[in-house]
Every structure is written in structure tokens, then in C-alpha cells.
Amino acid sequence: MSVLIVVSHPRQDSLTFQVARRFAEGLNQAGHDYEILDLHGIGFDPVLQGREELHMTAGEQEQPYSPELEREMERLRQHDGLAFVFPLWWWHLPAMLKGYIDRVLNNRVAYGTSNLHGYRALWLALAGVTEEQMKKRNYDEATTRLLNVGIADYCGITDSKVEFFYETLDSPPSHYEVLLEQAYQAGLHYGKGEN
């Protein structure tokens, strides 16, 4: 399996990137190919422009996408698995990742005349809060439903899972090691029905 790891964080020295790299090590150990896509690193523009918005009356050839967007859509097509690694900010996706989803998981790629049926998706969400705080107002359930149903299922992805990494702020080094091991195990078991 070939997995596109989409990372959304402005700093490459962040825990988010450490999780992404450790996840990739697990994928590699399991025999998967992967590519890490650093959205900030490539200067991805998250703003959906009017020319890229779906026109319900437009035919197949009547809705051109920008060269940047075509390039990212082609990158997506070269993989059969997806992993999104990101911090939860305001109980939601970072704007950069939301923009990637808005623009790249677009008509004729992820829905409409074509979708991502057969793809697998894993959402690795880093939360600064504890598991109890996430569950207090059902933020975990709301986030899981949004990502697995609102996004993945809408795109035809039936194998989608959210994995939370808790207490990512101001924790002892031993806790960060636990989180990185969690990431490694997620990569090691990707595609084995345990994802």
C-alpha cells in the first residue's frame, strides 16, 4: 500500500511532525510506501477560489482547476491510503488542513463522478487536553463523526478511523515517548484491519 501522509503544522520541529515521522517509520516497517506532504512546507494555498468551486451545471471539461491544484490532485491519486496528522485547534482541523480538504478533495476527485472508494483514511489528531476533557462534552465523538462520516464517508472512504494523541502540551518526556510509540504502532498496523 502507498500512503500519503498529509501534515498540517507550521513548525517542522513540532510534536505533530515527530508523530508523522514516527508513523512513517511504522509504515515502512510494515512494508508500505509513503510520502509525507508538508502543507506549510510546499506553501499550499488553503483558500478555495471561486473558479475552483463546484458548479452544479458545469460539464466535465467546463471546470478547470489551477496547476497547483491539479498537481495535488494527481499526488493524491498516486496513493491508495491517506493519513492526516494535525493538532486539534479550537476542537477542529487547522485552517491549512481544512483548506486542503476543501480544495483537493474536490469534485471529480473525491465526490461527483469519481470518489475515493477503496482508500483507507487515518486521522492522527493531537490534543493538548486529557482524554477526560475530550469526553466531557463529547468532543471526541463530534470530531470522530465529522472526520469519519462528514468527510471520509462522503468521499467514498468506508475504512476511516480517528486516533487521538492526548496531553500533547507540557507533559514529561516519558509521555511524549508514549505518544511516539502510539504513532509507530498506528503505522505498523495500518491496513491490517486495526487502523
Domains of the chain: 2-188 (3.40.50.360)
Q: Residue 76 CB: number of other CB atoms within 10 A? A: 19
Q: To the nearest whole number, what is the mean pLDDT of the chain?
A: 92
Closest CA to 121 of 147, 101, 99, 94: 147
pLDDT of residue 51: 72
Residue ranges, the chain, pLDDT below 50: 194-195
Q: Is 99 in contact with 47 (CB distance < 8 Å)?
A: yes
Instruction: Write the pLDDT tens digit of every residue in 147-180.
Output: 999 999 999 999 999 999 999 998 999 999 999 9
Which H or E element spans position 4? strand 2-7
If 0-12 CB within 10 Å is exposed, 13-18 middle and 19+ buried, where does residue 116 land?
buried
pLDDT of residue 169: 94
Angle (CA) 73-155-35 rounded to 5° is 40
pLDDT of residue 195: 44
- Its pTM stands at 0.94
